[in-house]
Structure 1
Amino acid sequence: MFQLGKTIVSEDIIEKDFVCNLSACKGACCIDGDAGAPLEQEETKILETIYPKVKPFLRQKGIEAIESQGVFITTEDGELETPLINGADCAYVIFDKNNVALCAIEEAYNQGEISWKKPVSCHLYPIRVKDYTEFSAVNYHRWQVCDDACTLGKELQVPVYKFVKEALIRKFGTDWYDELEKVAKTF
């Protein structure tokens, strides 16, 4: 671990390789698991605002889940997350013609309907950020469904932090990312 500003960063984001391999995993991270995507407080307001423009991109099951649970949920622990369809798929998941899970929010963004790409936690994955009072912990989240992404990342020699560069800059800023790159050169 090392410190960058008000973050404590796992060395794994520099030392481990990762490149999403959607043709292999089919977007399993959006349909497996037992929780929705973590959300920041500001993102809940964005979801409320953009939902009418995202709705046409959603599957009927997603619309039903969102309209019964809300555009976001609050867990028993007070965490904010995207709602799930029957405790599995993220309610915002759609599928392409090859049955690959995609994000309806990101599709609305790609089509120019909205200016917000998707929740930052999704954009950052496989990095997870946990905010504490004095600092934020920046960790690599290892999950078996992403084994093919690890293999592809190793083949292409792309460390995690480079794979999620745009998302890290979105979350922490360009100066923070530039400092991260300086640290990475020392490894």
Structure 2
Amino acid sequence: MFQLKKTVISEDILDKEFVCNLGACKGACCVDGDAGAPLEQEELSILKEILPKVKRYLRKEGLEAIENQGPYTTNEFGEHETTLIEGADCAYVIYDDQGVALCGIEEAYNQGDIQFKKPVSCHLYPVRIKQYSEFAAVNYDKWEICDDACSLGKELQVPVYKFVKQGLIRKFGEQWYDELDRVAKERNDRKV
């Protein structure tokens, strides 16, 4: 672990390699697990605001879950998450012709209907952020359903932090990311 401004970062995001391989996993991170995608406080009002434009992209089951539970849920720790369909698929999941799980929010964004790409936690995955009162912990979330992404990342030599560059910039800013990249390069130079 090392500190960068008000973040404490796991070295795994510099050392591990990762590139999503949707052809292999079929978007399993959006349908497996026991919770919805973590949401930040400011994303709650955004979800409510964009929902009318996103609805046309969603599946019937997702729409029903959102109608019954709301555009997001709150867990026992007071943390907000995307709504789930019967405790499994994210309510915002859609499928392409090959059966790959995609994000209905991101599809609405790609079509130019909304300006919000998707929850930042999804944009950052496999990086997870845990906010504490004085700092944020930035960790790599190793999940066996992403083994193919780890293999592809290793083959292409793409460290986790570079794979999620846009998500990290969105969360912490360009200056923070540039500093992270500098730290990574210095570490690599010391290894040689």
TM-score range, shorter chain: over 0.9
Determine the structure 2 residue equivalent to 1:49: 49
Determine the structure 2 residue equivalent to 1:39: 39
1:174 aligned onto 2:174: yes
Alignment RMSD, CA only? Answer: 0.4
The SS at the match of 1:42 is helix
Determine the structure 2 residue equivalent to 1:84: 84
C-alpha distance in 2, partners of 1:126/1:144? 11
Determine the structure 2 residue equivalent to 1:15: 15
The SS at the match of 1:36 is coil
1:100 Cα deviation from its structure 2 partner = 0.1
The residue type paired with residue 82 of structure 1 is: T
After superposition, the C-alpha distances for 1:77-121 in whole angstroms (9 at most, x for unaligned) are: 101000100100000000000000000000000000000000000
The SS at the match of 2:62 is helix
Number of residues of Structure 1 aligned to a counterpart in Structure 2: 187
Q: How does 1:81-160 map to 2 (within 5 A)?
A: 81-160=81-160
Determine the structure 2 residue equivalent to 1:4: 4
After superposition, the C-alpha distances for 1:142-172 in whole angstroms (9 at most, x for unaligned) are: 0000000000000000000000000000000
Q: TM-score, normalised by structure 2?
A: 0.97
1:23 Cα deviation from its structure 2 partner = 0.1
The SS at the match of 2:71 is coil
C-alpha distance in 2, partners of 1:147/1:117? 25
C-alpha distance in 1, partners of 2:139/2:71? 27
Runs of 4+ in structure 1 over 2 Å off: none
1:76 Cα deviation from its structure 2 partner = 1.3
C-alpha distance in 2, partners of 1:133/1:76? 19
The residue type paired with residue 54 of structure 1 is: V
Determine the structure 2 residue equivalent to 1:58: 58
C-alpha distance in 1, partners of 2:77/2:127? 21
1:67 Cα deviation from its structure 2 partner = 0.6
After superposition, the C-alpha distances for 1:23-55 in whole angstroms (9 at most, x for unaligned) are: 000000000001000000000000000000000
The SS at the match of 2:186 is coil
The SS at the match of 1:23 is helix
Q: TM-score, normalised by structure 1?
A: 1.00
C-alpha distance in 1, partners of 2:186/2:29? 32
The SS at the match of 1:77 is coil
Structure 1 residue runs of 5 or longer lacking an equivalent are none
